[in-house]
Structure 1
């Protein structure tokens, strides 16, 4: 029990960085997903091309390599250096925003054509159609896949340990490596519990959001939708 208290204290020192990276990464992911996802549906070809380059470029390259580029190559190329934790947020948001863009695109395209036609019949402008009719329905379809994406982002915060950001994985390594700690199984099990609890919190929030969205749209949350929302961690 004495060891447990020490381990918890050490891991908790990295918890704030893990939470900052997760919350900041989620916020940036949402913004980039909406911008890039809607850009993929733009009537202007050059906008679609730019968005597609971003999506395929970030999805098709290693997240760890992107991290090293942000931290080591970018300062050499342009002379700009991120504060470490915000560089981590940038990498997480850019990478997961590329995946989220396809979620947004697919959700918008899944809205029944009749909804577009009804909005046209009401003489709504394109912006009004998107804001008042299409996006509210598309958001309900986005929530389950975004739940999985956000949990994946949480787990990806562990890569920040590669650039010596002291999040919880780095803190666990600091416990193990210097003294060749024989309690390696217990410490890593405790680390798993930390990630599991945070994943469950994300899922609970997303479930609440889906219920709120379903009520606003006059829908019932089906068992299939609930299972999809739970996803795989």
Structure 2
């Protein structure tokens, strides 16, 4: 086999990787806001739950989280009489989302706490509720500050998708390993793999830059 003959299965795997990255980054972003805002909540139960999820998924290995969701959760389900088996794509997306969500939550928390206190005092003077202050004052100023960090997390998430090959999900890394086992052409396969991940990272970085600029313009129109 030559470089061209490797392209079809690798492109199939790249498409799976792209989908996995998109789904997990979007869900992880939503979790980031939910957990980050929850960590600042005055409600003790919400704050405790948010902190627990953040610390568990920041303090443990993504690989272990993935294996637990795919291998251990079904066994736990059998013990309590429930079918908790997850398809590989669901287990992979969930593990990646929870991981990026936990790290992103700290980005959200830090950006919200960086809003000048004078802005919050002005909102209080205008008799804004906490929800109004969050949506009208804090988030419009904090979101543009979050975007560079979210861009880094998105690229890291793309690279972390390679771990899902270990639960037999046919992503780019899984397809590459299949071809390498068949051809023993390690140099060519891993060079292509490196270049394809690099190219996907460049595209993702460019997209995140566009989103960053868009949020910057949005903040300018709100100020």
- The corresponding residue for 2:30 is 31
1:86 maps onto 2:85 in alignment? no
Deviation at 1:191, TM superposition (A): 0.9
Aligned partners of 1:82, 1:136: CA distance in 2, in Å?
Answer: 37
Question: Could you tell me how far 1:121 is from its partner in structure 2?
Answer: 2.4
Which of the residues 126, 150, 154 maps onto 2:154? Answer: 150
Instruction: Give 2:131's aligned residue.
Output: 127
Mapping for residues 13-28 of structure 1, pairs under 5 Å: 13-28=12-27
2:220 alignment partner, SS class: coil
Contact 1:21–1:86 under 8 Å retained in 2: no
Pairwise CA distance, 1:114: 1.3
Q: Distance in 2 between matches of 1:218 and 1:71?
A: 45
1:173 to 152, 177, 180: 177
User: 1:53-64, aligned counterparts within 5 Å?
Assistant: 53-64=52-63
Q: Alignment RMSD, CA only? A: 1.4
User: After the TM superposition, which segments of 4 or more aligned residues of structure 1 sit over 4 Å from their partners?
Assistant: none
* Unpaired runs of at least 5, structure 1: 220-233
CA distances 1:100-141 after superposition (whole Å, capped 9, x unpaired)? 110100010011111111222222221111011110111011
1:197 Cα deviation from its structure 2 partner: 1.5
- Segments of 5+ residues of structure 2 without an aligned counterpart are 78-82
**Aligned length in residues:** 216
Structure 2 Cα separation of the partners of residues 150 and 198 of structure 1: 11
> Does structure 2 conserve the Cα–Cα contact (< 8 Å) formed by 1:14 and 1:167?
yes
Aligned residue in 1 for 2:80: none
CA distance in 1, matches of 2:68, 2:103: 19
**More deviation in 186-195 or 142-151?**
186-195
Normalised TM-score (structure 1): 0.89
Give the structure-2-normalised TM-score.
0.93
Asked whether the equivalents of residues 92 and 157 of structure 1 are also in contact (C-alpha less than 8 Å), the reply is yes
2:193 to 177, 185, 191: 191
Q: Which residue number in structure 2 is paired with residue 74 of structure 1?
A: 73
State the Cα deviation string for residues 34-64 of structure 1 (Å, max 9, x = none).
0100011001222211111111111111111
